[in-house]
Amino acid sequence: MENLNFTFISGATGGLGSQFAISLATQGKNLFLTARSDEKLNILSDKLKEISPNITVLKFACDLTNSENRQEMFDYIKENDVKFDALINVAGADIQKTFLQYTEEKLTFQTRVLFEGTISITRYLLSISPNGLKILTISSICGTLPIPYFAIYSAQKSALVTFFDALRYELKKDKRFTVTTILPGSIPTRPDIIEDIKKQGLTGKLSQKSPEYIVKKSLKALDNRKKNYIPGFYNKVVNFFQKITPKFIKIKIIASKFSNKEKDAF
């Protein structure tokens, strides 16, 4: 892959990941896509080549919760001398239930895909990108506060913000590297998410932004070297007021909204 640079996208076949791929393909960017389903990766790859026939699209089906599978992907990258100038961390799992309803399998799956897999990919790509790397990570507005009945998700999204804030500081003297974290509200990417947004009423409607909007604003924030960026005026206002609201009040309000919901995605 001599003289070619790629943008790595995790969770590439999901609603948001595929929108990043489409947007970047339109810009003529070469793409390295990963997701769990090889079939879905093939479909997306064919679509991207129709959009922009001159780009190169590489793909590797990978279960990010499996360290051996991740290593196989890293070996593929090394063997094919794939070079990167950007990384977009999108992969996630929005399981939603009370903590005691989790099985050990679901517990490890969600924490590994949300955090372990993300920082594993980040470490590897940084180690092979001495000429610089732009890192964009999708966290969530949920990562700014504790959410009962959605505790693991909110905690792991918060961990991403904390980790990438620390990484940004470690790399701050080297202008070849950019680290940007996005904290969006609701994104209507799947039928179950659309239904969740409807159940939230006015707050869900005001919080939601389309995948196209999130991608556009995220890529602009990355180009502008933003640190943490919250897309949408309403979400910015919510973030401001939650910062000045006592925690016990926040948790009580949030718990009332999430206590009657349950979702075992993935």
Nearest to 16 by CA among 158, 216, 265: 216
What mean pLDDT comes out for the span 14-35?
Answer: 97
Nearest to 88 by CA among 124, 130, 138: 138
Beta bridge partners of residue 61, listed in sequence order: 35
As a whole number of angstroms, the longest Cα–Cα distance in the chain is: 56
- Taking the model in full, what pTM does it have? 0.93
What mean pLDDT comes out for the span 18-41?
Answer: 97
* Res. 200: pLDDT tops 80: no
Beta bridge partners of residue 10, listed in sequence order: 34
* Res. 256: pLDDT tops 90: no
CATH of domain 5-258: 3.40.50.720
* Res. 171: pLDDT tops 90: yes
Per-residue confidence (pLDDT) for residue 1, from 0 to 100: 64
Residue-range domain boundaries for the chain: 5-258
Nearest to 137 by CA among 110, 176, 112, 168: 168
Per-residue pLDDT band for 266 (boundaries 50, 70, 90) equals: low
What mean pLDDT comes out for the span 200-222?
Answer: 90
Kindly compute the dihedral angle of the four CA atoms of residues 134, 137, 141, 145, in this order, to the nearest 10 degrees: -110
Helix (H) or strand (E) holding 244: helix 233-244
